[in-house]
Amino acid sequence: MEELMRILMIMTSHDKMGDTGHKTGIWLEEFAAPYYRFLDAGADITLASPQGGQPPLDPNSEAADALTDATERFEKDANAQKVFANTVTLDDLKTDDFDALFYPGGHGPLWDLASDAKSIALIEAFIAQNKPVAAVCHGPAALVNAKDTDGQPLVSGKKVTGFTNEEEKAVGLEKVVPLSIEDEFKKHGGMFERGDAWASFAVVDGKLVTGQNPASSEATADAVLRLLSA
């Protein structure tokens, strides 16, 4: 009998886009697409966030042009919505209970997960146990302050990607965001790679998986599944 894959998805609890007065949070597609990839592969999924409960959704991610098959499936899935509304906090999570860690994006993580001590400790524990750690779009903000087992920046010498400066400028938020993932990764010695703006692009380096933008959600999730089945 095959062992059940146990995947922990950590989401932002932050809902304010700087001091613009606009809301942010999770980008729905970047949660829904990986969630269903994992679910359909038979994984047991735990959803968590710094504050627990219902994580904020970026209202723009529910606009017509942002919807996908996965988001439409979520809108009709009462069970998934219930799970989503009841995320656990990061307090009692143990790396031993999971096989992989995944961070969806949306701008929220730039404000909370980039500096969340509990989240960073979990990332470092997963890395220490040689388990896959993945993040897509702005989710990689969660990795910028994490260290490897030698105390070096986690991304140092690793191939990584994330929402690019070009894409941030295209959405007009380069002056609003508290940090640039591309700049932070480069500063910490990461080998930042990128595909075309808005096209699917995911990078795997060992057990570290990063995706560039919303279109990369499924590719990032699929890379995790490949690592788990290897």
What are 118-138's pLDDT values in tens digits? 999 999 999 999 999 999 999
The confidence score (pLDDT) of residue 3 equals: 72
Domain of 225, CATH number, reads 3.40.50.880
Is residue 87 situated within a structural domain?
A: yes
Contact 23, 58 (CB under 8 A): yes
Q: Are 146 and 220 in contact (CB under 8 A)?
A: no
CB 26 within 8 A of CB 57: yes
The count of structural domains within the chain is 1
64 CB burial (10 A radius; 0-12, 13-18, 19+): exposed
Q: Give yes or no for residue 230 having a pLDDT over 90.
A: no
Residue 86 has pLDDT above 70, yes or no: yes
Q: What percent of the chain has pLDDT over 70?
A: 99
- What percentage of the chain has pLDDT greater than the value 90? 97
Kindly state whether residue 1 falls inside one of the protein's structural domains: no
Asked if the model's pLDDT at residue 88 lies above 70, the reply is yes
**Inside any domain, residue 177:** yes
Q: What is the pLDDT of residues 34-63, one digit of tens each?
A: 999 999 999 999 999 999 999 999 999 999
Cα–Cα distance measured from residue 28 to residue 56, given in angstroms and rounded to the nearest whole number: 10
d(CA 122, CA 128): 10
Structural domain boundaries, residue 167: 6-229
What is the rounded radius of gyration, in angstroms, for the C-alpha atoms of the chain?
16
